[in-house]
Structure 1
Amino acid sequence: MLLRSLKKLDVESGSCQKLIGLQDLHDCVDNLLLLPVAQALAKEQHEKWFNELLDGSLRLLDVCGIARDALSQTKECTHGLQSTLRRRQGCKMELSREVEKYFASRKVVKKAMQKALKGMQTKLNSKKNEDLAMVSMLKELEAVTLMVFESLLTFIAGPKLQSKSSSWFVVSKLVHPKRIACEGEEKDANEFEKVDAALQSLISHKTSKSDYSMHVQNVQNWMGQLESSIQDVEEVLECLSRRLVKTRVSFLNILNH
């Protein structure tokens, strides 16, 4: 029932809500692993199952670490670009160079996310067995955790850099939401997409000085929101990382009991 609830949460909620849901679920599982039945399973010729779960727990920690590193790198680049925007608003050439550096960093992050996502495609053994109900539940938890991490990595990677016309449409939607809404419904962009599109538009379009200043201000606003979003996810992800370590320690204790 808890796993079904989290799967529903994965579809309906944002990144932070998904991660908080995982925290609660891992807390419940940690309590379950302290029960005598968990110790008994390990003694009843089921060591191989717990060894697989132990390997899976390491995989989850690796993916969690990749996500945390990507968020940290993106936040650092975002902070640096914001400083440049504040200092050099009037120099478009200087800004263009700094924006290109930001996109280069984002490209590295995107590649890392794509590589991690590709490595997460391994299907877990979901064979049902009444005698191994707990093991099946733990494997399902691992699968759901990977599913949430997949969503998080996709969120961090953001979309591929749009064409100039597509980027301009996104920025126009952000600046003039009511006018664009009349042209048709569009899927809401996440913070990464908003910043990527706004920056690309900033360096790709010839505008008047007043319009350029307005675009710079809009970019600063979206980057501020992105930094805030990253900070929120980082804090929750750090707590979840501690839960994953605790679960791994529980598996080790069961095997060594």
Structure 2
Amino acid sequence: MASSQMNKASYHTRSISLPSTSHPITAQFDQQLTKLRSSQAASTSSSLSLSQRLTGLTELYVFVDEMLQLPSNQQSLSRIQAVLDGSVNLIDACSTSRDVLQQSKQRLQHIQSVLRRRISGELNITKEVAEYVKARKTIKKVVKKCLKNIKSDNPNASEFFMNDVQEITVDMFKSLLSYISGTKSQSKKSWSLVTKLINKSSEKEESAAQTSEFDVVDATLESIVCQKKTRVNIDGIRNQMVNLESEIEQLDEILECLFRHLVKTRSTLLNILSN
């Protein structure tokens, strides 16, 4: 997985400035943020790890709305305005992530539909595969633009807890978008890996931590187009696509929940400013 790796030390140089008055929610928030930072800093390319971190981020936002209700966090409207400006980027990044996941899923389902209609190993699906490869190139351009636009406002300001929230959210979306985009090119080593993954399912679990499902499917389908294969391992391709589709559905389910929290947080910030 081509994920965004944030320097582990950077998470510890930023202090979490919470309200001076002790409140149960601040301790829960602090614990969840610390846990999330640690998991992100020590993240691997495992898709399960990514799903877990996104779930952890969603859980963090459960505490955010309650934190924003504390009077001590509503004293500086200038801080809230700065965070409000950055919230739009986060909502856009989440929306873009869901869009590109759905596009990939639709293309996968189309190829699977073709495979179900063609039982023989002798088949030509280069047209459908070419459409998928073309769509993936478009997706990568969209992701590249989103990665360029997404940023954390006031990265050096640690006096307001929402700066810490936005920082970890930005980094998480960078990891997710990079994962969806996958590698830029496939090396000979990648082709060799894909062959093993198709023919030896036992080696798939061993290689899962090093290669994302997106990369595996991309490499397999690109090989069909580039090498003009007419005889393919139908079961192997179908298994790869089922795995990727399942992963997409899992990520999208988490993102749907996270999107609602992001919108709710922005609404709360707007309400604080209007009062």
Q: TM-score range by the shorter chain?
A: 0.7 to 0.9
Q: Residue in 2 aligned with 1:171?
A: 194
- Taking the TM superposition and a 5 Å limit, the aligned residue runs for 1:48-59 are 48-59=78-89
* 1:220 corresponding residue in structure 2: 238
Deviations 1:19-45 (A, max 9, x none): 111111111111111122233x1xxxx
Aligned with 2:210: secondary structure? coil
Contact 1:124 1:143 in 2 (8 A): no
- Taking a change above 3 Å as real, the CA distance of residues 233 and 177 of structure 1, as seen in their structure-2 partners, is closer
Cα distance in structure 1, aligned partners of 2:152 and 2:256: 25
Alignment counterpart, residue 252 of structure 2, candidates 207, 214, 234: 234
The AA in structure 2 aligned to 1:154 is S
Which residue pairs with 2:57 in the alignment? 22
Distance 1:98 1:91 in 2: 16
Percent sequence identity over aligned pairs: 36
Gaps of 5+ in 1: none
* Structure with the largest fraction of helix: 1
Q: 1:91 to 1:101 in 2, by over 3 A?
A: farther
Distance (Å, rounded) in 2 between the aligned partners of 1:118 and 1:28: 29
* Structure 1 residues 101 and 250: alpha-carbon distance in aligned structure 2, compared to 1, 3 A threshold: same
Letter in 2 for 1:168: W
Show the 5 A alignment for 1:57-96: 57-88=87-118, 90=120, 94-96=124-126
Report the alpha carbon displacement of residue 253 of structure 1 after superposing the two structures with TM.
Answer: 1.1
Question: Which stretch shows the higher mean deviation, 152-161 or 171-180?
Answer: 171-180
Give the Cα–Cα distance (whole angstroms) in 1 for the partners of residues 99 and 54 of structure 2.
16
**Matched residue, 2:24:** none
Q: 1:178 to 1:63 in 2, by over 3 A?
A: closer
> What SS does structure 1 have at the residue aligned with 2:125?
helix
1:102 counterpart letter in structure 2: Y
Q: 1: CA distance between counterparts of 2:109 and 2:78?
A: 47
Give the corresponding residue for 1:142: 166
> Is the 8 Å Cα contact of residues 83 and 153 (structure 2) preserved in structure 1?
no
**Per-residue CA shift, 1:187-226, capped at 9, x if unaligned?**
621110111122223344587x8xx35x221011000000
1:154 is aligned to 178
User: Structure 1: how far apart are the matches of 2:138 and 2:194?
Assistant: 24
TM-score, structure 1 normalization: 0.83
Alpha-carbon distance change, 232 to 160 in structure 1, aligned in 2, over 3 angstroms: same
Would the aligned equivalents of 1:19 and 1:148 in 2 still touch at CA under 8 Å?
A: yes
In structure 2, the CA distance between the partners of 1:138 and 1:236, relative to structure 1 (3 Å rule), is same
2 CA distance for matches of 1:218 and 1:156?
A: 21
What RMSD over aligned residues (CA atoms) do the two structures have, in Å? Answer: 2.7
Instruction: Decide which of 28, 31, 34 is 2:69's aligned counterpart.
Output: 34
Aligned residues: 239
Post-superposition offset of 1:59: 1.1
Between stretches 111-120 and 4-13, larger displacement belongs to 4-13
Change (3 A) 1:50 1:197: same
Q: CA deviation at 1:93?
A: 6.8
Cα pair 2:86 2:153 within 8 Å, conserved: no
* 3-state DSSP of counterpart to 1:14: helix
1:202–1:216 Cα contact (<8 Å) kept: no
Pair 1:115-2:145 in alignment: yes
TM-score by length of 2: 0.78
Residues 190, 219 of structure 2: 8 Å contact kept: yes
CA contact (8 A) 1:167 1:198 kept: no
What is aligned with 2:271? 253
Give yes or no for the alignment of 1:189 onto 2:189: no
**Alpha-carbon contact 2:86-2:152 (below 8 Å) kept:** no
